[in-house]
Amino acid sequence: MFMFLFLLSAFVSGWISASVSQYQNVEAQPGEDVTLPCINISKYDTQTFWSRLVNRTMISCVVVIYSSGSKFTVCDGYEKGKFEMKSNISTVFLNIKKVDSSDSGLYYCGFVIKGAPILTTIHLKVNGKNAVFFSFIYLQRISLYSRSHLPRLSSPL
């Protein structure tokens, strides 16, 4: 559990860099419910999380599941009724209810497997005409830098 919280803190703090390998486009309108997909590549019981980029500088935890079969936890600063995390054997989903332009941005789905995060990046754009997901899957090594502040994470229920 400590390793997961440390890796999630490193990810949420922006200590992890990324590379891109593929993308996907999807359309939506303001007021619609949107589902962000993330391929579930883990064969093992692992912690799974969704985060998003805030103010172009900070990554903030949105929801986390600490083990399969457990309930998801909405992270501090996010509305519990607006965000929901679900999964099946092949995909992990982030459902966002009644999207508006403030929901636009980069979202990250992550798994911690053998101490290394495996991440999917999805760019959600909400406007009057289109919403676009750019889904990028990559295996990432962690680069840690000294920081004096780690974000506060919600504990499991």
Backbone CA torsion sign across 51, 52, 53, 54: negative
pLDDT value, residue 24: 56
- 152 in any annotated domain: no
- 19 in any annotated domain: yes
Rounded CA-CA distance 13/15 in Å is: 6
- Contacts by 77-81, CB closer than 8 A, 24 or more apart: none
Tell me what the mean pLDDT of segment 112-141 comes to: 63
CB atoms within 10 A of CB 83: 19
pLDDT value, residue 82: 95
DSSP 108-132: EEEEEETTEEEEEEEEE--SSS---
- 144 in any annotated domain: no
pLDDT per residue as tens digits for the range 41-64:
667 777 888 999 888 888 899 999
- 145 in any annotated domain: no
- 151 in any annotated domain: no
Tell me what the mean pLDDT of segment 126-133 comes to: 55
Residue 60 is encoded by which pair of tokens?
Answer: 């903030």
Range of the domain at 41: 2-139
φ and ψ at 8, to 5 degrees?
Answer: -65, -40
- 80 in any annotated domain: yes
**pLDDT > 90? residue 88:** no
Q: How many domains does the chain have?
A: 1
Residue 121 is encoded by which pair of tokens?
Answer: 């990046």
- 85 in any annotated domain: yes
- 149 in any annotated domain: no
Rounded CA-CA distance 23/5 in Å is: 28
CATH code, domain with 45: 2.60.40.10
Work out the pLDDT band at 9, boundaries 50, 70, 90: low
Rounded CA-CA distance 124/122 in Å is: 6
pLDDT per residue as tens digits for the range 32-43:
999 989 887 667
